[in-house]
Structure 1
């Protein structure tokens, strides 16, 4: 028999232990949570167009979750990038222009073509590592040459190569009467100049 009074009602407000999110930063959704939801969604859709959209969203979420040192997204390669790469190439390259060791290395490379090619390959790999692997910035590849060659890679190497050729020639460090020796000097100087150009382009200043 009821006495006419209302019985106790459940308190539906979230408490510290019931999974509420207010004031609990650990329960805030993360990119990993989003990826889990997208993976679940991918299993439920069956049309190819829908699957492609879900996978594209997953790739975007993955990119957003990838940490970078300075947190910038970098597109293209414009005049500002050229100026930064030029400055980095000069700073790293001046010692190569004035020290005699560059000529010794260049003469050695001139007589060992395999080492010459290997040094150039290492130079390209170093620039690729700095620009696209080390995550100093989130570098996006837009409109690559021939559909595969990134413009930033070509730009950084091109600026460093110009500094090496013009600097060594103008300062009388090489003579093109001996092209192989001159090429060896250029390749020897190109490695630190390209590294400097890549760092100058990406590091904030």
Structure 2
């Protein structure tokens, strides 16, 4: 029978919940996918985020997490990759407006802009969008490494550590699935089509802003 440290258990539970619900790139990604592509795609994006937790968990349990955290070049590489990915997502969402500004042409109608952008989005996988967003987020890496090195004891059995990892992944999936369901409710969806272009612009700006912030940190 496992000897579970109650303080450690509650600490992991509370810290994880606080980390999951805090706004960040994952929240912006799920919001964007859910509002523009529907509930199913939003949940798939949440599943991708949850699956990416296993990547961070794997190298942390193997002891590589501390190696990565103590080597600044690894953190910087991950930070640059994550930042460039977020900026690329943001610029992709804003590209119709950027193209119009650069060419000094009149803005196209909202319908044509939304349709062309939807065609681009339909070619991408919502699951892999969520997976990449979380896997390339250095803050998620530092959160899990810090949790397992500072909160979870060295004497904690590996089976319990795996249980913590499953809990962290499930917490991400449940929270972001709830976000996707809330944003795709009838009350919200009834207004989405009226502001679809602006939703694309706002979420694109947020994703790019998160990327720029990563580069500047």
* Fold shared per TM-score above 0.5: no
Larger radius of gyration: 1
Higher relative contact order (CA 8 A, sep 6+): 2
Q: Normalising by structure 2, what TM-score?
A: 0.30
